[in-house]
Structure 1
């Protein structure tokens, strides 16, 4: 809810309060959203190597609490002392939180006079440096929470227990359901508060809620199940060590018996990507050994896991480029339609509410109806395999783009602005159903397939696919707009329907590539 309270209305804030141009505001929002889905890699490094998932979430939640101070300092000027007292109270949770939070509060309080402009009419009363400092604290905070809340939640289920294994599948459904409850509240209630009551209250509500969430999260600390940290430090460093060691040993011959490889005593060795097995060749005692020359078989298998999953990861880029249309071209399409619905005028951006509603409707249906029915047919505990679930979502995304293209073709043939914007609602609803299948399936797949030492990194890479898809969408929009003229300033003079057909065609090709790769994919249990 805190993240979406910023993201949903950020363009409005930058244009009306900071007085940025539409182009600059759109570019800055895109850059910020991309950063929010890149920072999980930083958090993964800390969670898997040093802090663990619990401490990482607690620390980054505390960063969220400070955001409203550092981003909107002038909005909270009258109440900053009270807010500092509240934040300092939260510092008693742990010594690490006290150090992190206390220093940030002291720094922001000391810098408050610098951030505030001398006159009330400068930049809408907000210094841009304070705003962007706070925005990128949000990006940092969300990067430490997004992948680890799911991973820590899944850690509470014993994969060896049949009942708990089924319950873990439901957990990912309801985890995503909860995210969309926050999104719905932010896009309706909080956006209305920001526009009609004020930014202070609009940003203050989620700030208080995230503080409450931190208190509840820490209160359960004694009853959580904790997975041990991975061996050998950073999982990213271990992966790079395998690449370097295999390259340095490229001229060596692999032993006929894989048991001769370094520390191959756990039965982990697989026969794929055998070149990287050279990183585990035991060197003569006279040669210098080190982590960049000799790696364990478990390290090699971590890299092999990444390589096996890379085609699935690549398939997700097109999917998230398609869902990215809900914040770009679909809104532009809605602006060219009749926005009157009865006595009301519907904002094009508010149509994304149908995407959220679709998720909230489909998660219970999937969990309570589809899974039991599919279980009888497939024999799978979860009803569908994770790859089957992702594939269904990819197909739905192609259908959503085809529907958008048909609507645009009909709009172009109709009199100007005479077609109701509500014709877009089914498109958002289909894309929401696609998210239930692909996005949730992706989270579960990346969690299950990565070894225990890389669970947080796996979740971070899943979110990195979202960032990659959004960046890909920006590239495609720019390339198509500059070479074809399909996306014109006046949509009546362009052919947005051709672009939607283009995205639908890419989605179909992507689905075929995914089907091919998924049929050849073998999990670690099958190798």
Structure 2
């Protein structure tokens, strides 16, 4: 059989398999009963319609809520602009943190099937509670009477946020349950002799130490994605609030301010084929790379476009405020007669930035991460979105505190005509620019992982 060290090496590499190895998937997958998954009876294309259908419904519900949440908070729960935006970004951040909980449960305890089933139930409870809070009369705040808007009661807030954060928890079982933890362990002499490998949490191997070094090298690149995510969070918060104070008419129709997010989607649909069919072939001639640009270069382009996006939003807001002053609407909480479609460029730029940054980021983490930790690194890419939303909430809190000192109106008052939302957009543009410089410095020093 060879020496004890040889046996240990073979076991750690997964080269010693039992007689049933040909029957089972061999990747740790289990069936609904928690037993090793049989190749012929588990998964494959039979499971795909259920997985895709479940995910489609979940994402439809999530984006339906996220796009309209800030408007609901301001118009129905009568929150201020800053409070509403902060609640939205905090909730969105939580939605991208809970997948780590789902990943741990799926990988170490329940398995993916049970995790998705449990979290789907939690998601449904949250949706039911949120629906009740928006439809049952005594769970809704009273309508405004002129300028007087009664605040929501504690019970009304409790039901609403209970549903909202149950949805955030339910999201955790969907976004990242398809494994994320590498529980490979150093085998002790006793384990090799007895054949008992039930303890999956052991001292790290040399391979795992090397994997950690790779993660440490990737950390600065990962961290620069947080500011970008904070910029991206404005699409469902400040961009929507800006749009509500513009002319939303389209002929005889009134369009919701949140619907301008469609331009972000259209931008993604436009840029993906343009990038594949035109940009890559042209870039390939100059860079000599099959992909045209490296993942790091794509991410850098995305960061640059995010600076342009926030600058475009600031320019539109300057124009809107100047027109409000000319028409004497500064102290009136009414929309300014400037078409909401002037927001289209900022949404379009954000969509382009999303194509370059998010896709490049996912490819970077997948290609550069240790082979046994690719799923975990993909989860860390999602974590930048969570931290970016939390960063947005923090920036809003600090800006409000500093700009309202001494009884001042502040940059983001309830009546945006009296404020300076353009200053806030310029602030984010400046932070994005500094973040881009830091990224270029880190990317220039980054040592690529050797290809297998």
Q: Pick the TM interval, shorter chain.
A: 0.5 to 0.7
Verify: 1:138 aligned to 2:183, yes or no: no
Between the aligned partners of 1:390 and 1:399, the Cα distance in structure 2 is 15
Q: How does 1:462-473 map to 2 (within 5 A)?
A: 462-473=381-392
Q: Give the structure 2 partner of residue 86 of structure 1.
A: none
Verify: 1:64 aligned to 2:99, yes or no: no
Distance 1:7 1:407, change over 3 A: closer
Q: Give the structure 2 partner of residue 296 of structure 1.
A: 205
Given that residues 37 and 467 in structure 1 are in contact (C-alpha distance below 8 angstroms), is that contact kept between their aligned partners in structure 2?
yes
Query: Aligned to 2:449, what secondary structure does the other structure show?
Result: coil
List runs of 5+ in structure 1 lacking aligned partners: 77-114, 153-228, 239-261, 264-290
Verify: 1:438 aligned to 2:390, yes or no: no
Q: CA deviation digits over 1:407-461, x for unaligned, max 9? A: 1222222234122211111110100110011011111111222212222211111
Q: Give the structure 2 partner of residue 106 of structure 1.
A: none
Between the aligned partners of 1:14 and 1:147, the Cα distance in structure 2 is 29
Q: How does 1:308-327 map to 2 (within 5 A)?
A: 308-327=217-236
Between the aligned partners of 1:498 and 1:481, the Cα distance in structure 2 is 12
Q: Give the structure 2 partner of residue 411 of structure 1.
A: 320
- Which of 418, 426, 441 pairs up with 1:501? 426
Query: Aligned to 1:419, what secondary structure does the other structure show?
Result: strand
Between the aligned partners of 2:243 and 2:378, the Cα distance in structure 1 is 34
Q: Give the structure 1 partner of residue 269 of structure 2.
A: 360
Distance 1:148 1:393, change over 3 A: farther
Between the aligned partners of 1:431 and 1:61, the Cα distance in structure 2 is 34
Q: How does 1:325-340 map to 2 (within 5 A)?
A: 325-340=234-249
Verify: 1:123 aligned to 2:139, yes or no: yes
Distance 1:339 1:130, change over 3 A: closer
Between the aligned partners of 1:73 and 1:293, the Cα distance in structure 2 is 43
Deviates more, 1:293-302 or 1:495-504: 293-302
- The Cα of 1:330 is off from its aligned counterpart by 1.7
Query: What is the RMSD computed on CA atoms of the aligned residues?
Result: 3.7
Between the aligned partners of 1:345 and 1:37, the Cα distance in structure 2 is 33
Given that residues 147 and 463 in structure 1 are in contact (C-alpha distance below 8 angstroms), is that contact kept between their aligned partners in structure 2?
no
Given that residues 86 and 392 in structure 2 are in contact (C-alpha distance below 8 angstroms), is that contact kept between their aligned partners in structure 1?
no
Given that residues 231 and 428 in structure 2 are in contact (C-alpha distance below 8 angstroms), is that contact kept between their aligned partners in structure 1?
yes
Q: Give the structure 1 partner of residue 369 of structure 2.
A: 450
Verify: 1:40 aligned to 2:99, yes or no: yes
Given that residues 67 and 135 in structure 1 are in contact (C-alpha distance below 8 angstroms), is that contact kept between their aligned partners in structure 2?
no
Verify: 1:381 aligned to 2:293, yes or no: no
Q: Give the structure 2 partner of residue 395 of structure 1.
A: 304
- The Cα of 1:464 is off from its aligned counterpart by 0.8
The structure with more helix, counted as a fraction of residues = 1
Between the aligned partners of 1:437 and 1:324, the Cα distance in structure 2 is 17
Q: Structure 2 length as normaliser, TM-score?
A: 0.67
When the two structures are aligned, how many residues end up with a matched partner?
351
Q: Give the structure 2 partner of residue 22 of structure 1.
A: 79
Q: Give the structure 2 partner of residue 230 of structure 1.
A: 182
Distance 1:137 1:456, change over 3 A: farther
Given that residues 283 and 293 in structure 2 are in contact (C-alpha distance below 8 angstroms), is that contact kept between their aligned partners in structure 1?
yes
Between the aligned partners of 1:15 and 1:430, the Cα distance in structure 2 is 27
